[in-house]
A and B are shown apart, each in its own frame.
Chain A
Amino acid sequence: MKRLLTMTVATLALGGAAASAQTVGFSQIGSESGWRAAETTLTQQQAEERGIDLRFSDAQQRQENQIAAIRSFIAQGVDAILLAPVVATGWDSVLEEAQEAEIPVVLLDRMVDSDPSLYLTAVGSDLVHEGEVAGQWLVDTVAGEDCRVVELQGTTGSSPAIDRANGFRAAIEGHDNIEIVRSQTGNFTRTEGKEVMESFLQAENGGADICALYAHNDDMAIGAIQAIEEAGLAPGSDILVVSIDAVPDIFLAMSEGKANATVELTPNMAGPAFDALDAYWNDGTMPPNFIQTESRLYTQSDDPMAEYEARRDLGY
């Protein structure tokens, strides 16, 4: 009921002003990884393209900074707030304040534990689905032939590591020709990806018994590719390489034939968010509670060099 009221008021207040420049506040977690830097860059690009005045705030990994930023956005009377929350809990009161000020909030990339009525929508990827896409690619590629797979997992216990492992397993389920023979954590880093891959190669007859590598992120795959090369094998042909994220460097490897496929975790969360906001501002269209971004599969046939060029300046 309250939500309906908010919506109506917002429509009345803003409906006519949709054509003029909107102001959106964006509270970003920080810049802890290349992916997040790219997310920030893309959000700014998207805002510029749409003529939106973006107010950016870097929280440096602290929730209190984010809460302060949101309060400041409310005080400035922005038209909407984008929030990439650093933790899942503790957002209720500040989200209620935004609601009382009739400012819609869109969550990017991560979820919160608050009631869905407190925010307009959330944009994010489905980690399990990403693993499924990678697994499906392998199923299609080996086409029934026997394949022994080694897996480089993310940081033990982290949700991307768990979900991407489960998704992959779900996709290869029922395809008895594909078997995961070794699975170890590479902590999402290049160095450990390389080190663990070296041990896989040692353990699997110098790599001769390995048909494919599944890495939970591209960085580990890039480290592993170096280990495979140094072992005298050809990554991409002797051992198939599939990973997740679609960072620029994996496209470089793909263009050289050393990696086969990657599943994109798009840093463009802002695009769908702005689309939903535009619709909402224009005629009060309520978006669904969760907008899932596309987990697109890229292979060597997708002009990897062009993809690399398109991404290299995003701050990865």
Chain B
Amino acid sequence: MMSRTLRRIAPQLVTLAVLAALISVVFPGFLEISVSDGRLVGPVIDILKRGATVALLAIGMTLVIATRGIDLSVGATIAITGAVAAWSISNGLGLAGALSLAIAVGLVAGLWNGVLVAIIGIQPIVATLILMTAGRGVAQLITEGRILTFSHDGLAFLGSGDVLGIPVPALLWPVTGIAVALLMRRTALGLLIEAIGINRRASALAGINARLLLIAVYMTSGLCAALAGIITAADIRGADANNAGLWLELDAILAVVIGGNSLMGGRFSVAASLFGAMIIQTIDTGILLAGFPSEYNLVIKAALVVAILVLQSPRLASTWIYWGMRLRNRRAADAARIREAGE
């Protein structure tokens, strides 16, 4: 079991190692971690912390993509839930109130997407596009168009605090990821989600409640976006409806793809998507540390992403395996037929 998981995420681990080596060339102290004021400090820690939003989104996005869907609304959901958290904390609802309200709003956003996809039957890309475009407007209504700042140490702790020297966001995504991965694999959810992603009609005829599962999956994505929204707002002690989570849905999708998950749905690995998210953040942080002029940022990122996708290319690899197997099967079938003919 363990070795299978390891084999699944091996390409991502190799990619991370290669990236680390590359960045170490242009920035020698890349892998150094020191302790300052009881906190761990170093580029690697920054990556674990800064990659938290995309990693959280990638958890939900992995499940949505496994059902052959896509959730474009997560960036906007970050803006809404961040705004809700900031609004509630500055209106005296307290930490528990603000967190539960923000999470509830994230779940409602997921419910909306899920109902559009599973019950009304709108294509996922269209259904979630609605909230993607409208959501930021909702967030702006909450913040009244400005950056809604707050000063509440409890909430700020979630963005910039640390536990045992490790930044809270750097702890939040692995915990969420492990929880979701265990939930998927220790129950039958993973199998059922994969089944509806591969063949929804056959799954429904086998008695799987595809609608309910789809709604649950989009709600999970909304929940992950809410967590990302909370730490985004907590990080800067304010909710910026215009910019929070902007275009992050695309980074999340990219993380899932770099994680070797197929956009056509089916088999998925949450762990691989999380490593995908870390790969993206390693590139981002590496570019910042390298000190190139900012005009080159996107070009370098694009070149690296293309190189990674081509080189590790899980689809390419599986295509080779598939054709290899087809060839073997065919030879076996031919041999069988020749035997039959001979008899």
Whether the pair B43, A202 counts as a contact (CB closer than 8 A) is yes
Judge if A258 is at the interface, Cβ distance under 8 Å. Answer: no
Query: Which residue of the partner chain A has the closest CB to B294?
Result: A185
Whether the pair A206, B50 counts as a contact (CB closer than 8 A) is no
Residues of A contacting B50 in the complex (Cβ-Cβ under 8 angstroms): 195, 198
Residues of B contacting A232 in the complex (Cβ-Cβ under 8 angstroms): 36-37
Q: Which of B36, B37, B237, B289 sits near A199, CB closer than 8 Å?
A: B289
Whether the pair A316, B146 counts as a contact (CB closer than 8 A) is yes
Whether the pair B160, A230 counts as a contact (CB closer than 8 A) is yes
> Per-residue CB proximity of A172-200 to B under 8 Å, as 1/0?
00000000001111011111101110111
Q: Which of A157, A183, A198, A226 sits near B46, CB closer than 8 Å?
A: A198
Query: Which residue of the partner chain B has the closest CB to A37?
Result: B145
A249 to B236, CA, bound (A): 12
Residues of A contacting B42 in the complex (Cβ-Cβ under 8 angstroms): 202
Whether the pair B232, A33 counts as a contact (CB closer than 8 A) is no
A2 to chain B, nearest CB (A): 41
A199 to B31, CA, bound (A): 14
Residues of A contacting B146 in the complex (Cβ-Cβ under 8 angstroms): 34, 37, 315-316
Judge if A279 is at the interface, Cβ distance under 8 Å. Answer: no
Q: Which of B36, B236, B289, B294 sits near A203, CB closer than 8 Å?
A: B289
Whether the pair A223, B236 counts as a contact (CB closer than 8 A) is yes
Whether the pair B145, A34 counts as a contact (CB closer than 8 A) is yes
A103 to B94, CA, bound (A): 54
Whether the pair A203, B27 counts as a contact (CB closer than 8 A) is yes
Judge if B342 is at the interface, Cβ distance under 8 Å. Answer: no
Q: Identify which of B41, B295, B297 gathers the most chain A CB atoms within 10 Å of its CB.
A: B41
A157 to B289, CA, bound (A): 21
Whether the pair A191, B243 counts as a contact (CB closer than 8 A) is yes
Query: Which residue of the partner chain A has the closest CB to B156?
Result: A226
Residues of B contacting A219 in the complex (Cβ-Cβ under 8 angstroms): 147, 240
Whether the pair A190, B147 counts as a contact (CB closer than 8 A) is yes
Query: Which residue of the partner chain B has the closest CB to A218?
Result: B147
Q: Which of B46, B140, B147, B160 sits near A202, CB closer than 8 Å?
A: B46
Chain A interface residues toward B at CB < 8 A: 31-34, 37, 153, 156-157, 182-185, 187-192, 194-196, 198-200, 202-203, 206, 219, 222-223, 226, 230-232, 249, 315-316
Per CB-CB distance, the 8 closest pairs between chain A and chain B, nearest first, are A199-B288, A185-B294, A34-B146, A189-B243, A190-B236, A31-B145, A37-B145, A232-B37
Chain B interface residues toward A at CB < 8 A: 27, 29, 36-37, 41-43, 46, 50, 140, 144-147, 149, 160, 232, 235-238, 240, 242-244, 246, 285, 288-289, 291, 293-295, 297
